[in-house]
Amino acid sequence: MDNSLVVALGISVVGMTLLFLALIFFYGLLSVLTALFRVRPPAEAEGGQDRDGTRAGRDRVLLRAAAVAVALARAEAEQAPPRGEPYARDERGTAQATSPWWALHHQRELARNPGTRRTR
């Protein structure tokens, strides 16, 4: 084994084999742990019925919860300032103080090339 290419290929083969064996081991370990600790719903024992006696009641509750979540996300998005706008706006639409992140961004931009922004 005087040839360094053969030695490098041998090390690569051994390393890749160990890598794939470790990946297979961890995949198997995750599968076993998932099977052991799976949460079983208590509704299976009662036949899968909700308080009002139907599965449709549960579906209505889930749809209502989804609708509330979408409405809250839209309301939050409408209150947030648009992307790229450096100022937060209050209820009247007037600009407030600059956010600390925006100030840091501008400071870095100014410090990057200090000579180009001087007035002559």
DSSP 17: H
> Would you say residue 42 has pLDDT above 90?
no
What pLDDT, in 10s, does the model give residues 83-114? Answer: 655 555 556 666 666 677 777 887 887 787 66
Over residues 60-79, the mean pLDDT reads 87
What pLDDT, in 10s, does the model give residues 1-41? Answer: 579 999 999 999 999 999 999 999 999 999 999 999 888 76
Q: Is the pTM of this model over 0.75?
A: no
Which helix H or strand E contains 88, and what residues bound it? strand 87-89
What pLDDT is attached to residue 92? 63
What pLDDT is attached to residue 45? 46
Q: What does the domain layout of the chain look like in residue ranges? A: 7-37
Return d(Cα 106, Cα 89) in angstroms, integer: 19
Answer for the pair 104, 112: CB distance below 8 angstroms, yes or no: no
